[in-house]
């Protein structure tokens, strides 16, 4: 049974990347641009209106965990855990690694992390809600991985 529960958590986690892409492209850069716009502009202060969006997934995750636990830890609990795991990953990658809201991983120089940072930087070049690109967080176009690998190779050859 543990393998089934683990499968549900992992399936939910990976499904969340698509959900985050969809929400980012069509909701944040769509009818809820008012809340997301400040994320594309450098402003003083720690919090952004954009931080409101965590509720879109935190509330369902909390409810699924609660009601799943109340019902004997049924599938809802494990879906909620999968959403929670993605939320933690999102926070660590997006807020900590990419935007450096905390300086925990400021010296990380990994090809994967360099690629997602670059894709996100390209996304932020667009200051309006239209014509955006790179809406995903964990999965980005292969060209950014190639670019990161070339950069790493160039750095090694200099040393």
pLDDT at res. 103: 80
Q: Each residue of 14-63: pLDDT tens digit?
A: 999 999 999 999 999 999 998 888 888 877 777 888 888 899 999 999 99
Q: Each residue of 143-157: pLDDT tens digit?
A: 999 998 898 888 778
pLDDT at res. 100: 84
Distance CA 121, CA 28 (A): 17
Distance CA 132, CA 108 (A): 27
Give domain limits for the chain: 2-158
Four-point Cα dihedral 81, 86, 92, 95, nearest 10: -120
pLDDT at res. 75: 97
pTM for the full predicted model: 0.86
Distance CA 34, CA 29 (A): 9
Q: Which long-range contacts (CB under 8 A, 24 or more apart) does 138-144 make?
A: 138/17, 138/89, 138/93, 139/17, 139/21, 140/115, 140/116, 144/115, 144/116, 144/118, 144/119
């Amino acid at each position: 049974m543990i393998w089934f529960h683990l499968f549900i958590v992992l399936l939910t986690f990976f499904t969340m990347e698509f959900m985050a892409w969809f929400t980012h492209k069509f909701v944040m850069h769509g009818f809820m641009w008012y809340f997301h716009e400040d994320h594309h502009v450098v402003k003083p202060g720690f919090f952004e209106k954009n931080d409101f969006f965590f509720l879109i997934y935190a509330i369902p995750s909390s409810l699924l965990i609660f009601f799943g636990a109340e019902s004997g830890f049924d599938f809802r609990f494990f879906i909620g855990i999968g959403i929670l795991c993605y939320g933690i990953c999102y926070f660590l990658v997006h807020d900590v690694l990419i935007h450096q809201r905390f300086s925990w991983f400021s010296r990380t120089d990994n090809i994967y992390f360099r690629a997602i940072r670059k894709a996100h930087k390209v996304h932020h070049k667009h200051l309006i809600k239209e014509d955006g690109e790179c809406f995903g967080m964990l999965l980005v176009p292969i060209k950014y991985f190639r670019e990161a690998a070339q950069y790493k190779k160039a750095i090694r050859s200099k040393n």
